[in-house]
Amino acid sequence: MLNILEEANRCIQCKKPRCRQACPINNPIPQFIQLLKDGKIKEAGDLVFINNPLSIVCSLVCPHGEYCQGHCIKGIKSTPVQIGQIEHYIAQYCLDNLDLFITNEYSGNVGVIGGGAAGIALAFFLQRVGYQVTIYESQAKIGGIMRYGIPEFRLPNKIIDRLENKLHEMGVIIHPHTTVGPTTTVDDMLRDGFDAVFMSTGVWKPKKLSINGDSLGHVHYAVNFLKSPEVFDLGDNVVVIGAGNVAMDCARSAVRRSVREVIVMYRKGEKDMPCREDEYGAAKMDGVHFSFYSSPTRITREGIYYLDTSEDGTDEELFMPADTVIVAISQESQKNIVATSPEIELDDYGRVIVDDNMMTTKQSVFASGDVVTGAKTVNMAVTQAKQAANSIHNYIQGKRNSDWQEELLYSYDIVQTREEDMARFTRER
């Protein structure tokens, strides 16, 4: 196990920290590492949480090699400081002991549709200053893709449970098993006293292959498989179609079901894979095999017919046996909400259109996260939720007070306003 304090001591506290500059949410990395080194781990936990309520998640699943660790100056000639592991140690230690008192500076009611990363983050941001937040969640538990799309071995559900407990502790209301659109609508919510509605429904509709055989009983979609892999009878041979991070999660989850062979089929080459390099490496280490330049043409009950798409390929169909086929080629947003709220416009890719303030084309309705950008990281979802929280705050206060001057409820550079934010959201210990 990594010695966290020894690793923290490797940080040289750069005057211009490239690690923080590379983080989408501007994580105060040198500051929380220094607090840890000074024996102030609770203060470090407060600082991390104020900036990113989902730090305990991001520290596990973010692509650190692309963000903070990939820009650590130590990595130029040696090994970068393992920032993700340091942050996770702090967040894991402090989460249950955070003093999440409510400032009650403001009032208002905000409805959140979807309890994924963006919805959870926004609830934390707004509830802490006095807004009453209600989350409408279509599943039994909140968490979205974090709970139902990231395998347990990468992100344990007990971590999401701890975040949910914190939301309850703060007074956030959670409506489980409630899909907004078919019965309860956005107009109903605005009619019944919500000052603003925030859409963060994610991307749950899988894209089809649209080839013969894709409706057969042994063909499954990644977003459904990852919800509960244990309920699927996979047989001996599993083929995963696609090469993104979701495909790697499917393949690694299938391996853990003790199947004989798992093969990832991809229509392009190894260098073209959209998944992260570390995810690809982990899949290979788990024993997953790969079939590159393989484009499926039809599926039968016995397996998959495909074409060799390499430069030397021919038009002759090849065959790969498969007891189970998992399609992991992408997802898009469902249209439950816009079906009953046609004023909310979508772009050509089915994503919700928002302006610079994250407001949709319907007054009082805001949106961010995957439903706006397509599938992105948890870190990006939190970053956008912070922007949406600021916009919703100014929108509600502006409606009530014509003299209202816009303000940043949460700074985008937490370090510059650290004393102010820490004074607002922490008590003397």
Q: Tokens standing for 162?
A: 């701890």
The stretch 102-117 carries a mean pLDDT of: 93
Query: What CATH number should be reported for the domain holding residue 272?
Result: 3.50.50.60
Looking at residue 213, what is its pLDDT?
96
Pairing type for strands 205-206 and 331-332 reads antiparallel
pLDDT band at 420 (very low <50, low <70, confident <90, very high): low
Looking at residue 347, what is its pLDDT?
87
Looking at residue 413, what is its pLDDT?
63
Looking at residue 215, what is its pLDDT?
94
Query: What CATH number should be reported for the domain holding residue 83?
Result: 1.10.1060.10
Pair 212, 315 in one domain: yes
Pair 310, 218 in one domain: yes
Look at the block and give the residue holding tokens 């929108």: 395
The stretch 89-95 carries a mean pLDDT of: 93
Higher pLDDT, 208 or 226: 226
Q: Is residue 17 part of a domain?
A: yes
Round to whole Å and give the CA distance between 29 and 147: 26
Provide the percentage of residues in the chain whose pLDDT is more than 90. Answer: 76
The stretch 404-427 carries a mean pLDDT of: 64
Which among 414, 370, 412 is positioned nearest to 391, based on CA atoms? Answer: 412
Q: Which DSSP letter does residue 304 get?
A: E
* Domain of residue 141, residue span: 109-204+333-418
Number of folded domains that form the chain: 3
Looking at residue 182, what is its pLDDT?
86
Looking at residue 421, what is its pLDDT?
55
Looking at residue 1, what is its pLDDT?
47
Segment among 8-12, 294-298, 322-326, 330-334 with least mean pLDDT: 330-334
Look at the block and give the residue holding tokens 């057969």: 216
CB 51 within 8 A of CB 414: yes
Pair 300, 377 in one domain: no
- Check whether 429 has a pLDDT greater than 50: no
Pair 210, 323 in one domain: yes
Looking at residue 422, what is its pLDDT?
53
Pair 153, 64 in one domain: no
Annotate 244-272 with DSSP letters as a single string.
Answer: SHHHHHHHHHHHTTT-SEEEEE-SS-GGG
Q: Which of 310, 331, 352 is the last residue of a domain?
A: 331
- Check whether 418 has a pLDDT greater than 50: no
* Average pLDDT along the chain: 91
Which among 97, 83, 88, 102 is positioned nearest to 42, based on CA atoms? Answer: 97
CB 382 within 8 A of CB 58: yes
Pair 145, 123 in one domain: yes
The identity of residue 425, as a single letter, is F
Q: Is residue 145 part of a domain?
A: yes
The stretch 199-207 carries a mean pLDDT of: 83
Round to whole Å and give the CA distance between 66 and 397: 38
The stretch 140-149 carries a mean pLDDT of: 94
- Check whether 185 has a pLDDT greater than 70: yes
Q: Is residue 425 part of a domain?
A: no
pLDDT band at 377 (very low <50, low <70, confident <90, very high): confident
pLDDT per position as a tens digit, 59-81: 999 999 999 999 999 999 899 99
Pair 214, 300 in one domain: yes
The stretch 51-61 carries a mean pLDDT of: 94
Looking at residue 37, what is its pLDDT?
94
pLDDT per position as a tens digit, 157-183: 999 999 999 999 999 999 999 999 888
Q: Which of 98, 122, 155 is the last residue of a domain?
A: 98
pLDDT band at 208 (very low <50, low <70, confident <90, very high): confident
Looking at residue 390, what is its pLDDT?
95
Q: Which of 313, 331, 349 is the last residue of a domain?
A: 331
Q: What is the CA 386 to chain-centroid distance, rounded?
A: 14
Pairing type for strands 132-136 and 365-367 reads unpaired
Looking at residue 427, what is its pLDDT?
46
Q: Tokens standing for 331?
A: 């997802």
Pair 265, 308 in one domain: yes
Beta-carbon contacts of 272 under 8 Å, excluding residues fewer than 6 positions away, are 243, 266
Provide the percentage of residues in the chain whose pLDDT is more than 70. Answer: 95
Measured from the Cβ of residue 425, the count of other Cβ atoms closer than 10 Å reads 20
- Check whether 415 has a pLDDT greater than 70: no
- Check whether 419 has a pLDDT greater than 70: no
The stretch 331-345 carries a mean pLDDT of: 80
